[in-house]
Amino acid sequence: MDEITAIELKERLARNNKIQLVDVREPSEFEICNLGGELIPLGELPKQVSRIRRDIPVVVICHHGFRSAQAINYLTQRLGFDNLLNLKGGIHAWATQVDPDMAVY
């Protein structure tokens, strides 16, 4: 599984690279802090898979990187996605490494 660090993601976003952010956390977690991506909770993934692009890199985000890894495994093994990156350490890594003002939980 391909991963991207919080620092690498920050650099890619700063360069305006086309990238889709998909957050697989629950709505209550998304409300606490998020990167402005699309919220598709892990349990909703099979029903909302049409929202995930195949033509640009997609970074999948969760709290610490475990649920996003599950999402990526599902999407690659069952549906043939080949453009997915797991945010290593999740939104927590972003908060601790990139944006210390972001709420943590």
What are the residue numbers of the active site?
62
How far, in Å, CA of 27 to CA of 17, rounded? 26
Structure tokens at 53: 């692009």
CB 65 within 8 A of CB 53: no
- Rounded CA Rg of the chain: 13
Classify residue 77 by burial, with Cβ atoms within 10 Å: 0-12, 13-18, 19+: exposed
